[in-house]
Amino acid sequence: MSIIILSGGFGSGKTELALDLALEHSTQSNHTVLADLDLVNPFFASREMEKYLTRQGIQVVAPHGDLSFGDVPSIPPEILGYIRQDNEMIIDLAGDEAGAVVLGYLNRYILERDFEFLLVINPYRPFAASLEEIIKLKTNLEKVARFKFTGIISNPNLVEETDMETIIQGHKQVESYAQNLHLPIRFLAVEERFFEETYSIYGEIVRKIRLFLRPEWIRPVEEVVQYGERDR
């Protein structure tokens, strides 16, 4: 049993990946926890899918009520108990100063367990457009967290405008970042429609993901019916 912590700049796709990883782990474990610690005014949040995740047997830990989307960090008090339990835990963490503060607070509890600290990079987003910006983000988070990133998730996409060229060129950029940061790429995330072609190029590193948090007006009808309008 382990903890997977996902962090990344705005628009990196870490929340979608956190949802997908939680659902995968829930098929392999009797106790999967998704901790939504992206606590400062998130645009998309894992807790928007709480009803659906609960039906899949996933325990969602997140602020509720007036603290759900506050402007200051509010760490759910039960998070420490879940970190100390024997479970599969996915932590969706903000990729900014507030996220670093949260991680610093949880540091000594996380270090008691096996964990992965993964930097999600979408090179088409403003906060990941250059190596300098990636280094700044990585350095700030590691300094306060007091432990190092263990790997990178490559998530090159332009949402609905994504094509194979987007993926190939974007992943090439992420590979360059990874080489400079001396970090391994754990996987390359792609939507199902690109999986077979991408797999034929890159092999086992490719991971097929589902998207849950796209606005309803660009989601296929069958997705809206299955998952609801963010299922709140």
Distance of alpha carbon 126 from the chain centroid: 17
In a domain, 37, yes or no: yes
Is there a domain that residue 232 lies in?
no
CATH of the domain at 175: 3.40.50.300
99-113 pLDDT per residue, tens: 778 888 888 899 999
Based on the structure, what is the number of domains in the chain? 1
pTM of the model: 0.86
Could you tell me if residue 26 is inside a domain?
A: yes
H or E stretch covering 161 = none
Per-chain mean pLDDT for the chain: 84
For the residues of 141-207, what is the DSSP string, one character each? Answer: HHHHHTS---EEEE----GGG--HHHHHHHHHHHHHHHHHHT--EEEEEEEHHHHHHHHHHHGGGEE
pLDDT at position 69 is 47
**CA separation for the pair 140, 173 (Å, rounded):** 21
Burial class (CB in 10 A: 0-12, 13-18, 19+), 132: exposed
Query: Looking at residue 73, what is its pLDDT?
Result: 52
Domain span including residue 118: 3-227
Listed as ranges, residues in the chain with pLDDT below 50 are 66-72, 215-230, 232
